Amino acid sequence: MTAATHDTWIRRAEKLEPHGAHLIDGADEAGGGAAFAAVSPRDGRILAEVADGGEAEVDAAVAAARRAFDHGPWPRLAPSERGRILTRVADLLDEHREELALTVSLEMGKPVTDAHDIELRAVVNTFRWYGQLADKLTDESPHTPHDALALVTREPAGVVGAVVPWNFPLTLAGWKLAPALAAGCTVVLKPSERSPLSALLLGRIALEAGLPPGVLNVVNGDGPVAGRALGLHPGVDVLAFTGSTDVGRQFLRYSADSNLKRVWLELGGKSPNIVLPDAPDLARAAATAAWGIFFNQGEMCTAPSRLLVHSSVAEEVTEAVVAHARALRVGDPLDPATQMGALAGEGHLARVLDHVDAASATGARLLTGGARTLAGTGGSYLEPTVFDRVAPDSRLAREEVFGPVLSVLTFDDLDEAVSLANDTEYGLAAGLWTSDLSTAHTLSRALRAGTVWVNCYEEGDLTVPFGGMKQSGNGRDKSAHALEKYMELKTTWIQL
């Protein structure tokens, strides 16, 4: 945990000089000269001018990654050597932890303590975990007739395009980069145009750690231009994307219109958090529900945005959640006392407020929040917001808000709880609070979600996979299973 004060972080921010150039083939590249401003949602100020990439820059980055894969040392290194370099990346990320945390906080608005203590811990652990795993993978030799030998080998898939969002810009990049690199692939990373600076810094740190030029390239730009160019590029073998379901559909189309590259998608969520009357601790369930929806300003695909509470305890739980929301400190992301920072920008704040206005207009009851706050700072801040009496078929109950807005719905029995929980196009995550072991198992099996947390939320480590069902996507990040996305299976049959 960092012990830096508010004034210390402000002084560091004043001295920060982020780099905005693309990172291609191991060197800074200004590209075609076009640039866009990286604006901090903390106060609206410009952090840096960032090179704006298009087809030419994506072509150059893919060409560099292709050369590094086809002719460079990275795929041919001993797995233990790749692992050593990835572990060195983890070490250097840890050494640059304060600079990285500050950059993340300034570019996307989360409290700097969360960036330092949670996000940076996650990305450091990710590179270290896959670095340690790199030389522990095995191939197969199935039983065959006595006159033959069969080998099933795992080979790196090639050039990976990774497109990641702004809400956890380093964690989600790490979840894709580390396993892809451990597998022996080379990568072109396109960060969100809202959070390019931390990704560029990560790329430079990886070079310093010993990653050969061209193995990791970072191209800035917006989705409709740079993202589209990467999705359509015939030199990309695998595309890994985290973001909205609508954009995920676009990447599938790009694949169909180009070289049928494999596309792995981690998309949106509208996660239910079910509280039964026999929950082991209703106060803890309510506190966790409040933490889950307001952590990271609610800008999480797994946010427990639908609180489903048994009618017999709904009033007690809802009142406790509202009390937590009202006590939450919204403020400057650089203040260690801040518990909820700024939303990612003015456009995103406007979209969240549109959901709030629509909910009030369609009969949901606003219990707390619902308004912009700290407008005088120039930043994009919203009060923690809770609605009850939310209709299951309303926008608020069905659409991903991606902000600090909680919907409370009630149910009377387990069948109704499961029906409400599964009544969504998404299937990313779910929470369940009960003291009954059979109920925990039965409901966990019935919930159509990639992760189910029982008597907790957002828990787990790198040993378990992360991903969704239905329109929350396919494939898995984290764990050894993530490597499968970046490897090809080859069968070799030898007649003896």
Could you tell me whether strands 186-190 and 159-163 are parallel, antiparallel, or unpaired per DSSP bridges?
parallel
36 membership: H or E segment, kind and range: strand 35-39
**C-alpha to C-alpha distance for 449 and 426, rounded to whole angstroms:** 8
Q: Which of 266, 299, 400, 484 is flagged as catalytic?
A: 266
Residue 421 to residues 256, 279, 289, 375, 444, Cα–Cα distance (Å)? 33, 17, 15, 36, 11
End-to-end Cα distance, the chain: 61
Q: How far is CA 130 from the centre of its chain?
A: 17
Nearest one of 436, 433, 432 to 421, comparing CA atoms: 432
Catalytic annotation present for 185: no
Check 29, 301, 383, 400 and give the catalytic one: 301
The reply to whether 456 belongs to the active site is no
d(CA 111, CA 332): 7
Counting Cβ atoms within 10 Å, is residue 46 exposed (0-12), middle (13-18) or buried (19+)? exposed
* Cα separation, 491 vs 27, whole angstroms: 38
Question: Helix, strand, coil % (nearest 5) of the chain?
Answer: 45, 20, 35
C-beta separation of 429 from 323 below 8 A: no
CB 103 within 8 A of CB 202: no
- Residues recognised as catalytic: 266, 301
